[in-house]
Structure 1
């Protein structure tokens, strides 16, 4: 787990709300505080869909981004917000394979990005959750390095806390 201070709120928000940067991440949950507190849950309600449809457990950010944008846009900045994203199961498997880690994708509950804005500063805290106990920290370290590399590739400025 690492904490990154995102040094340009404006740049990050453009990536979050106006570009495709986070579209493939799963949206776990979020909260936006403006004139009210708005809570969003990314859990897919499978009973809404037909049984023939293959529905993932969580919605992608791409499918919810416009709702988040509609709550945040305006003349006033939010008082605060927090979002929890996860790497998709397919991308978790790819990360494990590409880095030759001694894990199976089905052992991983999630690789998370916790984005928090407190009204003035913005930070991202990484998280790793396994379904089984392990003393091996290689997946956590790989995920932390991946996030830093991802932000650098997307020109999202940050510094370690």
Structure 2
């Protein structure tokens, strides 16, 4: 787990809400506080859709982003927001193979990005969750490094805490 302070709030918010930067991430949950508190659960309600349709467990950010933007946009900045993203299942499998971690992708609950804005400060904290206990931190370290590379590649400024 690493904690990063995102130094350019306006630029990051643009990446988050207007660009496709995070679109391939699974959206786990979020909360936006403006004139009310809006909570969004990213878990897909499969019974809403036609049967036989293959659906992931969670929505992708690309399918939620515009709804969140609609809540946030306006003359006033939100009081706070927080979003939890996870690396997609396909990318978890890829990272596990690349890192030669002694775990199977099925052992991984998620590789998370926790984004939090408190009205003044914007942070991103990585997280790793396994379905089984392991002392090995190979995949966790690979995820932390990948998250930093991702932000650098997207030219998102941050300070590692």
TM-score, normalised via structure 1 length: 0.98
Equivalent residue number for residue 115 of structure 2: 115
- Runs of 4+ deviating beyond 6 Å: none
Q: Give distance in 1, aligned partners of 2:77 and 2:40.
A: 18
Unaligned runs of 5+ in 1: none
- SS across alignment from 1:66: helix
- SS across alignment from 2:29: strand
Equivalent residue number for residue 8 of structure 1: 8
What pairs up with 1:75-114 in 2 under 5 angstroms? 75-114=75-114
Equivalent residue number for residue 42 of structure 2: 42
| Residue-by-residue CA offset, 1:122-146 (whole Å, 9 max, x unaligned) | 0001000000100001111110000
Partners of 2:115 and 2:125 within 8 A in 1: yes
Query: How many Å apart are 1:71 and its aligned residue?
Result: 0.6
TM-score, normalised via structure 2 length: 0.98
Give the number of aligned pairs.
Answer: 161
| Superposition RMSD in Å | 0.6
Unaligned runs of 5+ in 2: none
| Residue-by-residue CA offset, 1:62-102 (whole Å, 9 max, x unaligned) | 00000000011111000000000000111000111122222
